[in-house]
Chains A and B, each alone.
Chain A
Amino acid sequence: DAEITQSPRHKITETGRQVTLACHQTWNHNNMFWYRQDLGHGLRLIHYSYGVQDTNKGEVSDGYSVSRSNTEDLPLTLESAASSQTSVYFCASSQRKGMKDGYTFGSGTRLTVV
């Protein structure tokens, strides 16, 4: 069965370190998205990609970067982790066009920056 997998599920890192969160999907979806979820803020879009070599900034992109070298993966990198980036991160994917099935979400990565 097709799936979308995030790893790790939990991570603790120190302020200033570079951290990469993985997202891998086997749906063959062109569109991939990264969100962060914080209490009181719902889901906020960090970065998204509509295909290989395509990346775009979302509403809270400062301090984050992504790269899309293949269809299956969209890793999210925190260049220099800050305590304000402590959050739960969700990756999602969707088909090329239309919203017939909406987004499919991963199970999330809980990141703590100490």
Chain B
Amino acid sequence: GQQLNQSPQSMFIQEGEDVSMNCTSSSIFNTWLWYKQEPGEGPVLLIALYKAGELTSNGRLTAQFGITRKDSFLNISASIPSDVGIYFCAGQLGNAGNMLTFGGGTRLMVKP
């Protein structure tokens, strides 16, 4: 099936550093979503993007819908220990109805 290439797979950073992760695909997506999964819990929606070029923030998080509609990135500024978790991108293809395609996840570890 369709795949989203998410990178990096894991990051180990110092508290206070900025973080950037991205997802790319060879297919065009209508919607991009970013989720965070904390240990022992299900993914929770962080940011949703609906238009090419859209830039949306949620606190220290900023995500962008790529102009080509084939990619998206998520930035976290001034990381804190509670940012630890797995971040997933997800996209909705134009012909996929109500189906999301998920990236493989970025595992973020923050050293205090």
Residues of A participating in the B interface, judged by any CB pair closer than 8 Å: 31, 41-43, 48, 50, 59, 90, 92, 94, 96-108
Contacts and interface: CB of A to CB of B under 8 A. Distances in A.
A105 B43 contact: yes
Contacts of A92: 42
Interface in B33-87: 33, 35, 40-45, 48, 50
A102 B98 contact: no
A99 B92 contact: yes
Contacts of B99: 48
A48 B35 CA distance: 20
Interface of B: 1, 30-31, 33, 35, 40-45, 48, 50, 88, 90, 92, 97-100, 102-105
24 contacts: A31-B98, A42-B88, A42-B104, A43-B105, A90-B42, A90-B43, A92-B42, A94-B98, A97-B98, A98-B98, A99-B31, A99-B33, A99-B48, A99-B98, A100-B48, A102-B33, A102-B45, A103-B45, A103-B90, A104-B45, A105-B42, A105-B44, A106-B42, A108-B40
A41 B31 CA distance: 22
Given A42-B104, A43-B43, 11 more contacts: A31-B98, A42-B105, A43-B88, A43-B105, A99-B31, A101-B45, A102-B48, A102-B90, A102-B100, A103-B45, A105-B44
A54 B92 CA distance: 21
A92 B90 CA distance: 14
A104 B90 CA distance: 13
B102 A99 contact: no
Nearest to A44: B102
Contacts of B43: 43, 90, 103, 105
A70 to B, nearest CB: 19
Contacts of A42: 88, 102-105
Nearest to A42: B104
Contacts of B105: 42-43
A99 B42 contact: no
Given A99-B48, A102-B90, A108-B42, A59 B1 contact: yes
